[in-house]
Chain A
Amino acid sequence: MKIAIASGKGGTGKTTLATGLAHLLSAHGQSTTYVDCDVEEPNGHIFLEPRIERSESVAIPVPVIDHELCTNCGRCCEICRFNALACLPEKVLVFPSLCHGCGGCTLVCPTGAITESPRAVGVVERGSAGDLGFIQGRLAVGEAMATPVIRAVKRAVPEEGMVILDAPPGTSCPVVETIRDVDWVVMVTEPTPFGLNDLKLAVGAVRKLGLTTSIVINRSDVGNSGVEDYCKEEGLDVILKIPHSRTVAEAYARGEMPVLTVPGYADMLETLADAVLSRMMEADKR
């Protein structure tokens, strides 16, 4: 069973919740893997302190033009949505850093002038933190193509057992790639105008993908009632409210998992763990 911990807004507590939930499920004897899909800034490792056992490079295929064969027809530039190729009056230039590696240019080239060369954009690392499986993607510094790294991370995810995917913030391609095939999306938000604005966008994305979602309101006693009102209007299931706590923030700042060091925190997250386990049992019955 795959569960994504997502949010519209950044900094709402995805990683705190994802690492905490993964830890609890593992402690309940569930075979669980924590997967950090926030490849631009993976930080789950700071809290879980995993031992990395394998590291694989992720590469995307970028075009290489054979200028002897190129007739300068311009079709490669027409098909490239990312402007990674420039068709000048006398030659074609390639900008590898803009290329998403879709292979479209290679397909449409009528003279076979384009071959593909791999360009490393990141790594997938696998390991374990005690009984908990650990996988993370890391986008190379200076690179912009997060999605191919996330795709590679997801290929490494085990078929069996419980999988907790820590999603990137936002609603763009990296988020879609992370959540597209999960069984349940748990959205973490905060009761502020920013939290609400980004929650609406994220709920829109999740609904478009036809996924089921539940909401966790973090720091639930700050801000205003906008998020709760919205959830009521939209019929969204608010599964957990976590009150603001300076102790939790301090633990986080020390790189600790609040679930381990802050009294009462684990009990709150148990609500979520129970919901996950009952969903899993339902799925098994079916």
Chain B
Amino acid sequence: MRIAVTSLGPDMTSDVDPRFGRARWFVIVDTETGESEAIDNQSGVGASSGAGVQAAARVAGLGVEYVLTGHCGPNAFRTLTEAGVEVITSVKGTVKDAVGKLKSGELSPADAADVNGHWS
């Protein structure tokens, strides 16, 4: 299973970034192999509009099943949902903690966006 976690840094020990579209990094974790890869989201941080849409299409294209983040707006939520990606919001702590919580069944997918666009 592949998971995208929004992150303030490129490592497993980095903290989860509360933003989705303008998250600083996406850490992509493969739970079967234990491998992880950091995707720089500078283009999203600086996007003039549609950062959520852009980020959602990008992580969906990476074949992830779950997105773990702090908050997710309506455009990003719709894009991820249409792509069949489950979104989990209100995630805190490090990337590693977040993945651990998902694996142990502590996290459940959101059924709607939890913030409006441009919330932060």
A→B interface (CB under 8 Å)? 77, 81-91, 93, 95, 98, 144
Contact B48 A81 (CB under 8 A): yes
- Top 10 closest A-B pairs, CB basis? A83-B50, A86-B57, A83-B54, A88-B83, A83-B53, A86-B79, A98-B50, A82-B49, A86-B53, A88-B60
B83 partner, pick from A81, A89, A98, A144, beta carbons under 8 A: A89
Contact A93 B49 (CB under 8 A): no
Tell yes or no: B96 within 8 A of A by CB.
no
Where chain A touches its partner, the secondary structure class is loop
Tell yes or no: B1 within 8 A of A by CB.
no
Tell yes or no: B47 within 8 A of A by CB.
yes
Contact B60 A89 (CB under 8 A): yes
A-chain residues with CB within 8 Å of residue B57 when the two chains form the complex: 77, 86-88
CA A95 to CA B82, docked complex, whole Å: 13
B→A interface (CB under 8 Å)? 47-51, 53-54, 56-57, 60-61, 63, 75, 78-79, 82-83
A83 partner, pick from B49, B82, B83, beta carbons under 8 A: B49
Contact B51 A83 (CB under 8 A): yes
A93 and B51 in contact (CB under 8 A), knowing A77-B57, A88-B57, A88-B61?
Answer: no
A86 and B56 in contact (CB under 8 A), knowing A91-B82, A93-B82?
Answer: yes
B47 to chain A, nearest CB (A): 6
22 intermolecular pairs with C-beta atoms under 8 Å apart: A77-B57, A81-B48, A82-B48, A82-B50, A83-B47, A83-B50, A83-B53, A86-B56, A86-B79, A88-B57, A88-B79, A88-B83, A89-B61, A89-B63, A89-B83, A90-B83, A93-B79, A95-B50, A95-B75, A98-B49, A98-B50, A98-B75
Contact B50 A84 (CB under 8 A): yes
A-chain residues with CB within 8 Å of residue B78 when the two chains form the complex: 93
B-chain residues with CB within 8 Å of residue A87 when the two chains form the complex: 57
CA A88 to CA B60, docked complex, whole Å: 7
Chain B CB count within 10 A is highest, among A77, A86, A88, for A86
Q: Name the residue on A nearest B57 (C-beta).
A: A86
B42 to chain A, nearest CB (A): 15
